[in-house]
Amino acid sequence: MAADRTDPVVGTPHGAVRGRYEQGVAVFRGIPYAAPPFGPRRFRPPEPPDPWDGVRDATAFGPTAPKPPYSEAFARYLSDPGIPGDDCLNLNVWTPQPDPGARLPVLVWIHGGALTRGSSAVPVYDGSAFARDGVVCVSLNYRLGVEGYGLFPDAPPNAGLRDQYAALRWVHEAIAAFGGDPDRITLCGQSAGAISAGALLAAPQTRGLIRRAVLQSGPPEASDRDKVRRVVRRMAARLKIPATAEAFAAVDRDLLLRAQAEAGRLSGPVLGGPAFGLVVDGDLVPRDPLRALLDGAAPGVGLLMGWTRDEYRLWLVPGGLHEHVDRIGPVALAGAMARCRVGPEVPRGYRALRPDAGAAETVGQMITDHLLRVPLHRLADARPGGSYIYEFAWPSNLPGLGACHALELGFVFGTGDLPEARKLAGENAPRALRDAMHAAWVRFATTGDPGWQAWDDSHPVRVFDGGVPYTAYGTLDEAMALWTAAPRVSEPAPGGAVRAPGAELAAAVRRLRRSVGALRH
């Protein structure tokens, strides 16, 4: 193509859009894939956008979904720009060749943020490096918090997941015009985005839409309906309204966000309080996604899955929670047992594996394994030969963070030089590591092989640290043995009674939440 290319124009199912070239990459931002989800559409499944005449400008990010800001402690490390406007169901495309004949592999990115924060406008998610390496990159917004995941008696659940499915359908129908191959779509997400990608992968409706999937620091899962419903009821009590979609739709948006932030104050991976999540709905999520995938859903879809070595440090370090957990060690350990639904055998096993670890590290590793590593390990075991596992082990240059949750993102996207990536990684992150990790994702999206041994009985894990990446074997086997052997203490005993230790541990978790609540105030 000529160096003085004019702004690219591409047709979509709803009208033409004009992007622009940025350093050799054609970029289209803010393309609506669904109608604004407000007014009569609020809390309803997404609907197609109204078609437009002429050529729509697509040079700026579109509005982001309503969301509360990060607390000051987390905002030090994570960027989350907010763009006002109702037309928040939009997506962005980076492509090296907006030509229907190009037929390039496609990577579709679903952002994380606990289903309450984040957007496709986060600078770290810039898809230019993927496009320069021959992969069409798409990122999308979806409804968050109570707007996307509130559970009501008068509205369908999982609205945010339905938004993601609508975006995936749009990509399958429209991406060829941008140079992409609709038969080579890799669905990729991190944290809540990975949980979402896993659910979409398991959904019967997506059969044939997804060729490969990348799950970063998030397993396929469905949340307990009562847990999600409790968040809505807490919000309703604060707002003094019924816990219905009709009543919530009449509340001022900013007031709703403030109530949401307060109701979810003690939620999170460590505390496990009421939080928004995907629920089994008999439709897009007909059963637990992990169980569906273990039983053979999405046959033939290749998987790249992994975690960061110190996921928990992003949950514990901001605000001084790490030191606080060390101070209240026995209570924290009892709370972790309740969170993971296990007896004392498991923390004893972790202390034997890591005798020098304090309470915070033991709690953090237990919960990380319970939430992330163990289910992804099980999923790889169920799909040998087509699964690849990685661990990101490079520690941040900022004190205390280690190889924490979300640290790998600047490396995957090749955006580590941006100020927003340095907020988490610090200065002088290793470029060679960024190049190696980004290249593995490009190779997986292109060929299905990221460049190391597929999962088998030897349990190969590709380790990305400050040196040359290497493959380790059986790195989780000892921890997995603990979880496999440990009896679950909060499951119903014969006759329906709950075993006593479960109630005792639940009381410990309540004490831990009260303790942390006092710290946060």
- CA 121 – CA 114 distance, rounded (Å): 16
Q: What is the DSSP string of 211-267?
A: SEEEEES-------HHHHHHHHHHHHHHHTS-SSHHHHHTS-HHHHHHHHHHHTTT-
311 catalytic per annotation: yes
- The upper half-sphere exposure of residue 255, i.e. CA atoms within 13 Å in the direction of its Cβ, equals 10
Give the residue among 364, 366, 373, 324 at the shortest CA–CA distance from 341. Answer: 366
405 catalytic per annotation: yes
- The upper half-sphere exposure of residue 307, i.e. CA atoms within 13 Å in the direction of its Cβ, equals 23
- CA 89 – CA 56 distance, rounded (Å): 16
Which one is catalytic: 405, 420, 438, 459?
405
Question: CB neighbours of 465 closer than 8 A, spacing ≥ 6?
Answer: 393, 394, 433
Which one is catalytic: 120, 147, 223, 311?
311
Q: Six-digit token pair at 276?
A: 């928004």
Exposed e or buried b per residue across 150-163, where buried means at least 16 C-beta atoms within 10 angstroms of its C-beta: bbbeebebbbbbbb
- CA 455 – CA 380 distance, rounded (Å): 7
- CA 52 – CA 57 distance, rounded (Å): 11
345 catalytic per annotation: no
- For residue 303, the SS3 value is strand
State the DSSP code for 63: P
Backbone phi, then psi, for 462, in 5-degree steps?
A: -80, 125
- CA 246 – CA 446 distance, rounded (Å): 46
- CA 150 – CA 79 distance, rounded (Å): 25
- CA 455 – CA 305 distance, rounded (Å): 11
Which one is catalytic: 119, 120, 128, 191?
191
Helical residues (DSSP H) of 264-328, grouped into ranges = 289-294, 313-316, 321-327
Residue 182, CA distances (Å) to 12, 59, 104, 289, 380 in order: 14, 23, 9, 24, 26
Q: Six-digit token pair at 248?
A: 């919530």
Question: Roughly how many angstroms between the first and final C-alpha of the chain, as a whole number?
Answer: 58
The 180-190 sheet, strands edge to edge: 20-22, 25-32, 90-95, 136-140, 104-110, 180-190, 212-216, 302-308, 387-392, 460-464, 470-473
Catalytic residues, which ones? 191, 311, 405
